[in-house]
Amino acid sequence: MRHTILSAFERLPYFTIEGFRQFAGDDVVDDAHVRTALYRWVKAGHLIALKKGVYMHRRFYEQHRQDAAFAPVVSAILLPQSYLSLEYVLQQHGILTDITFPVTAITIKNTRTILNSLGTFVYRHIQPQLYCGFQILEAYGVPYAQASAAKALSDYLYLRPLPADLEPRRYNLAEELRLNLDEFTRDEREEFVGYVIKSETTRKGGAKMRRILNNLEVHVWRR
């Protein structure tokens, strides 16, 4: 099978084996032939394997890898039922600084990490009732979801192991975790409080989030 057939996929953010088979039509001999050809084109550098059965053309990668939306779109391709959150979003907002994180997202599916030649993509499980607080965006024709700064902070603190005792006189949470929260607006603080209230509907986490909120209000968002 000639690799020139791949030129049809240069402008697509991704394609699947089934999509390739449908396009190739009469050039396809059988499934094993297709998989062998795709494997060889990955080894030759013409394609990038995003995950099993899903590929990106090298030309698309080279043209868009510096785009702000590139990593979010790849994250959505790898696991569509997810939204960007946690360290990735907090770093974008300057809440976590000086560290490079993998692309992090939230899902109601199982926690998993996907590694490919484009990077590390981490998906953390959360209860369905907390799967909220994001907006739907789009790039290259692919929709992806991204949490607000307040929801990313809520997810980060909800899922992160913390000391049981968050008594403000003995522990400054923002200082310990190096959280830059001084620029949080009143609206963002109120949004965060809303997620604290919502966390109380889960079987765990509600009391913890109340202690977190109290600590932040004492040390950062002074009442």
CATH code, domain carrying 31: 1.10.10
Statement to judge: residues 191 and 151 lie in one domain:
yes
Which two three-digit tokens encode residue 79?
Answer: 């696991």
- Are residues 54 and 91 both part of a single domain? no
The two tokens of residue 40 are 């060889």
How many domains does the chain contain in total? 2
pLDDT on residue 61? 98
> Residue 26: what pLDDT?
59
Domain shared by 31 and 49, yes or no: yes
Give the per-residue pLDDT at 102: 94
What is the model's pLDDT at position 21?
84
Q: Are residues 88 and 198 in the same domain?
A: yes
Q: Is the dihedral of CA 86, 87, 89, 94 positive or negative?
A: positive
Question: Do residues 59 and 152 both lie within one domain?
Answer: no
Q: Are residues 90 and 37 in the same domain?
A: no
Domain boundary residue, one of 48, 63, 78? 63
Are 124 and 47 part of one and the same domain?
no
Res 216: pLDDT: 96
- List, for the chain, all residue ranges whose pLDDT scores fall below the cut of 50: none
Residues 76 and 165 in one domain: yes
Sheet holding 15-16, edge to edge: 15-16, 54-57, 47-51
pLDDT in tens, 154-166: 999 999 999 888 8
Of the residues 45, 63, 81, the one at which a domain ends: 63
Give the structural domain span for 157: 70-219
How far, in Å, are 9, 20, 32, 45, 128 from residue 60 at the CA level?
8, 16, 26, 12, 34
Of 69, 47, 64, the C-alpha closest to 56 is 47
Look at residues 63, 97, 112 and tell me which one is the last residue of a structural domain. 63
Amino acid at 51: K
